[in-house]
Chains A and B, each alone.
Chain A
Amino acid sequence: MQNLTLLDGQKFQITIQRLCRQLIENHNDFSGSVLIGIQPRGIYLAKRVAEELRKILPESKIEQGDLDITFYRDDFRRRESQLVPNQTKIDFIIEGKKVIMMDDVLWTGRTIRAAMDAMIDFGRPEKVELLALVDRRYSRHIPVAPDYVGIEVDSIASQKVVVSWKETDGEDRILLVSEK
């Protein structure tokens, strides 16, 4: 195992803040926009972004939900381990809203395909955007492109990108793990 830290500490925080500013450029006061984190790991990103946005825009109501995509995955019955669902918690209406979907790592794009199907079952959004903290470039299986990117990474299939969060893992860090 060989680990390479791609981003941590203050730089990590600056990246999150930059993403927030970019979101504000397009969504103003967020009156018609909502944030949705994709389970299991995208919810921490969405929570962090929502928290930062609330600091920057104290007057605005920032709505943020968790979306589980387990039942929409395209690899159910095609993998050896059972897919166990997580909680979906969207207590606002997405019909007619601008939805910003968030995941920590964008890789093959299959999760995003499933997430779009899962989200559409809650209503018809006016617009859907995608924010990824890490974009593993040139590894897409499906034509999906992010609108906002924290950092871009060139990696090979045997490597993993692991994002840890202060709130749950003790520190903010993006790690590129290579198995030797």
Chain B
Amino acid sequence: MSTIKIKINNSEKSNIRNPIYKMAGLSTRHLLGIKDLNRQDIELIFETADNFKTVLNRPIKKVPSLRDVTIANIFFENSTRTRLSFELAEKRLSADVVNFAASSSSVSKGETLIDTVNNILAMKVDMVVMRHPYAGAGIFLSKHVKAQIVNAGDGAHEHPTQALLDAFSIREKYGDVAGKKVVIVGDILHSRVALSNILCLKHLGAEVMVCGPTTLIPKYIGSLGVQVEHNLVKALNWCDVANMLRIQLERQDIKYFPSLREYTMLYGLNKQILDSLDKEITVMHPGPINRGVEITSDVADSKQSIILDQVENGVAIRMAVLYLLAGQTPA
């Protein structure tokens, strides 16, 4: 993509007095992680997502903003929700979309990441949405290719759009994220959702606690300004929102706990525990759910659960991110 500055003529410049044209934009050219965003960025994404949410509730759920943008969704790791959600967001913005799954590509023939992406970019692609099993893959790519990169999950590092949609869903439920108490339960060690969520919620002024077996909580987690609790009931009694994470068996190279059954007994959320709490907490889950492991079906489907609202908000958040990033680069 070219970086040529477009000369604005007088007739256009004078529009700038309007509040709509305030000089607000994201402070970053790529969305690689929540770490690169500041509070203003997150609030700008939320405000933009509010508007896209109204678009998504109309009979015609599409706007023409990105009609001259081509986006490649490059997934080196399996995904249902994130890939569909990104693809839908791109289509709702009228972008041209190409999909790429590593399993059915030349990657298995030994092509490197940069070569794969550069070949895709040679076909005039403006943005790349990438999921990759290795932490830092997005950052690496952003340094070597010209396109704007959106990280759709890199190993156990970050999953920024998931964190944004989680915080957006809390904001939607409670009006504000600041001051809310959020507990993240489960496999914190292997979770990119946990790290991005912690960073995002802390930016927005929420109190964050992590809860899980000692082996699945990284030693240094306290340095992020979060509390650690190993007792699920205590954690739930403290919080307003519980974000239940999946046990990432595919990332666990050794045994971190004796058995799934034991994990469920100690850290699984069921209706009995939920009803025993003094207050009504909100239950979240980034998906995919392992019903009967970290959360039982009756809790996942209860009215306290906002799991499907999270999925709905995901499209609006991703539209906002793509829109704001695309707006930075001249056509």
Using a CB–CB cutoff of 8 Å, the interface residues on chain A facing chain B are 39-41, 68, 70-72, 75-88, 108, 117, 121-123, 139, 157-160, 162
Contact = CB atoms under 8 A, between A and B. Distances in A.
A84 B63 contact: no
Interface string B55-86: 10011101111001100000000000000000
Dominant SS at the B interface?
loop
Nearest to A95: B59
Contacts of B65: 70-72, 76
B16 A122 contact: no
Interface string B1-24: 000011011111010111111111
B5 to A, nearest CB: 7
Interface stretch (B43-51, B117-125, B192-200, B204-212): B43-51
B179 interface: no
Contact of A160 (B5, B17, B51): B17
Complex A-B, nearest 10 residue pairs according to Cβ-Cβ distance, in ascending order = A82-B25, A71-B63, A121-B60, A77-B331, A85-B51, A157-B11, A40-B20, A71-B65, A82-B327, A81-B23
Contacts of B269: none
Interface string B212-230: 0000000000000000000
Nearest to B328: A82
Contacts of A39: 20
Interface of B: 5-6, 8-12, 14, 16-26, 44, 47-48, 50-51, 54-55, 58-60, 62-65, 68-69, 93, 323-324, 326-331
A108 B6 CA distance: 19
Contacts of A160: 14, 17
6 contacts: A40-B20, A72-B63, A78-B6, A80-B5, A82-B23, A122-B58
Contacts of A81: 16, 21-23, 25
B54 to A, nearest CB: 6
B11 A84 contact: no
Nearest to A71: B63
Which of B47, B60, B64 counts the most A-chain CB atoms under 10 A from its CB? Answer: B64
A79 to B, nearest CB: 6
Given A40-B18, A78-B331, A88 B51 contact: yes
Contact of B59 (A68, A75, A123, A159): A123
B6 to A, nearest CB: 6
Given A68-B51, A88-B51, A121-B58, 7 more contacts: A76-B65, A82-B23, A82-B24, A82-B26, A85-B51, A87-B54, A157-B9
Contacts of A40: 18-20
B64 A79 contact: no
Contacts of A79: 6, 8, 12
